[in-house]
Structure 1
């Protein structure tokens, strides 16, 4: 692997973490009266359509039956994750789902060990645990003892976290088989298209499509922003990094998003750092630095840009 490719992949994931952190504030600008599953389906569909001309230009539009099935499975994983998140948020708080999401990189490491066995996996366990512990301290600030999630919310979102954890390792595994030669553009387009179709089909059965009439011009503007920067750009960066960096290290950048949100509260909103937040920020920083070093030693094969 070229060192330039390694550096570009990590810089891309650093941008990914910033875009993810900024997306939470942008998402809050959209009317809460609109079905969130419908919004996510529209976001994914819009992203796929934006990528379509580039897909045709790069010649990634050809598809085998096995390739179509592979993209459908990956798209279904995306739909399961987003669907479970919005269902869980009906019964628990965003803090609880955020805390549960810190398990995703660890679960990704497990699936990576099953689908892509590698001797360097053990080197990433301790750094990932350290970063996860730091992220939990950052997410849990200000929560009360009575805010434990319901068993139903844990079960539903737990299934979604498993789907998201499986997404990156399975993408890499399929790119060695039925999706061999598929670049980041093709992976992003087809996975988003199938994810959008599954989510919109769900809205058709649930009746969530009716809330589309409540979309205002302001909502549509924020929807385009979220589609371009919080969805399309982040998924392209994700697929650009998978294969250059190990899948578990890639998804661990979500911990940096948590850190960036906390830094925004400190520096922009002038909130005083809490002792637990400082400890959490240090743990995330040390854990991510150690993960970066371990992913450099692993030196997996470079993906095609």
Structure 2
């Protein structure tokens, strides 16, 4: 696969951060009476089917049994993340799920130590930590001032965040072995198709499919939006950047996403930012700038 340029990868991830921020609010608009696992399965299925025409037009080599297994593992991680997001949103706010998601880059760095060891890992820890602290200051709040999120959604979405943290480094590890030469379109299609199949099969056994009768036209509209912008576009941008910049740096753009979520929250509720939120925004900006600059230096050294 021909990699995109360094600057193009970072610009793509900036767009990724904006789309992720918007997806938290869009996901919260879907009816809470519908089974979250069914919603997630439909979302991934819609996304995969939209990539199918592109896949059919490309001359790709046949997928081996090991390749299908690798896609199945990555699809399971996607299913775990998205399913936990919809379930957590039943009990907590979009802002709180965005707060928990800020832990994903540090978790990714931890998995990267074992899956993709590199001398540059240490240089990313400090700027990632600074940005993470800033992101937490921005959004650590419950449904009322001073109230922390409930334990259940924290545990549920925490498991999903672990799955997402493992996704990027494991994906890059597979690209060097079982999925060598796979482009972003192929990776996104197969991973999402497997994720959708896992979730929809689960719904058949759990009975969650019955709630499909409660889907309104508005719900389907939000699901289509999430499929195109919150899932398909973001994971294509993610795979486009993986391999050009390190997985933990790629996923660290969630810190900018958290900043965008908070800014949207200010405008949505017409609230003036608190001093602690201004401090958090500054830390996010400083941490991300340092992280991008360090990733450029690391690339120059290894080139």
Asked if Structure 1 and Structure 2 have the same fold, meaning a TM-score greater than 0.5 normalized by the shorter chain, the answer is yes
1:114 matched to which residue of 2? 114
Alpha-carbon distance between aligned partners in 2 of 1:46 and 1:103, rounded to the nearest angstrom: 28
In the TM superposition, what is the alpha-carbon distance from 1:146 to its structure 2 partner?
A: 5.0
1:227 matched to which residue of 2? 227
Alpha-carbon distance between aligned partners in 2 of 1:154 and 1:61, rounded to the nearest angstrom: 42
Gap runs ≥5 in structure 1: 301-305
Alpha-carbon distance between aligned partners in 1 of 2:216 and 2:238, rounded to the nearest angstrom: 31
Conserved 8 A contact 2:138-2:262: yes
1:149 matched to which residue of 2? 150
Conserved 8 A contact 1:104-1:161: yes
2:251 matched to which residue of 1? 251
1:75-90 to structure 2, matched below 5 A, reads 75-89=75-89
Pairs aligned (count): 298
Secondary structure of the residue that 2:5 maps to in structure 1?
Answer: helix
How has the CA–CA distance of structure 1 residues 219 and 93 changed in structure 2, closer, same or farther, with 3 Å as cutoff?
A: closer
In the TM superposition, what is the alpha-carbon distance from 1:87 to its structure 2 partner?
A: 3.9
Q: Does 1:103 align with 2:103?
A: yes
1:303 matched to which residue of 2? none
Conserved 8 A contact 1:66-1:178: yes
In the TM superposition, what is the alpha-carbon distance from 1:268 to its structure 2 partner?
A: 6.3
2:71 matched to which residue of 1? 71
1:3-152 to structure 2, matched below 5 A, reads 5-60=5-60, 62-89=62-89, 94-141=94-141, 143-150=144-151
TM-score, scaled to structure 1: 0.90
Conserved 8 A contact 1:47-1:192: yes
Alpha-carbon distance between aligned partners in 1 of 2:76 and 2:252, rounded to the nearest angstrom: 22
Q: Render the CA deviation track for 1:118-142: whole Å, top value 9, x for unaligned.
A: 1111011010011111111111246
Alpha-carbon distance between aligned partners in 2 of 1:83 and 1:49, rounded to the nearest angstrom: 19
In the TM superposition, what is the alpha-carbon distance from 1:89 to its structure 2 partner?
A: 4.6
How has the CA–CA distance of structure 1 residues 158 and 267 changed in structure 2, closer, same or farther, with 3 Å as cutoff?
A: closer
Alpha-carbon distance between aligned partners in 2 of 1:41 and 1:29, rounded to the nearest angstrom: 17
Conserved 8 A contact 1:61-1:186: no
In the TM superposition, what is the alpha-carbon distance from 1:25 to its structure 2 partner?
A: 2.9
Q: Greater CA deviation, 240-249 or 61-70?
A: 61-70
Alpha-carbon distance between aligned partners in 2 of 1:291 and 1:3, rounded to the nearest angstrom: 21
Q: RMSD value over aligned CA atoms? A: 2.2
How has the CA–CA distance of structure 1 residues 286 and 212 changed in structure 2, closer, same or farther, with 3 Å as cutoff?
A: same
Gap runs ≥5 in structure 2: none
Alpha-carbon distance between aligned partners in 2 of 1:137 and 1:126, rounded to the nearest angstrom: 17
Alpha-carbon distance between aligned partners in 2 of 1:60 and 1:217, rounded to the nearest angstrom: 37
Conserved 8 A contact 1:55-1:61: no
Q: Render the CA deviation track for 1:31-61: whole Å, top value 9, x for unaligned.
A: 2222222111111101111111111212237
2:200 matched to which residue of 1? 200
Secondary structure of the residue that 2:29 maps to in structure 1?
Answer: coil
Secondary structure of the residue that 1:290 maps to in structure 2?
Answer: helix
1:168-247 to structure 2, matched below 5 A, reads 168-247=168-247
TM-score, scaled to structure 2: 0.91
How has the CA–CA distance of structure 1 residues 96 and 15 changed in structure 2, closer, same or farther, with 3 Å as cutoff?
A: closer
Q: Render the CA deviation track for 1:165-189: whole Å, top value 9, x for unaligned.
A: 1000000000000000000001000
How has the CA–CA distance of structure 1 residues 277 and 225 changed in structure 2, closer, same or farther, with 3 Å as cutoff?
A: same
Conserved 8 A contact 1:93-1:149: no
Alpha-carbon distance between aligned partners in 1 of 2:217 and 2:82, rounded to the nearest angstrom: 24
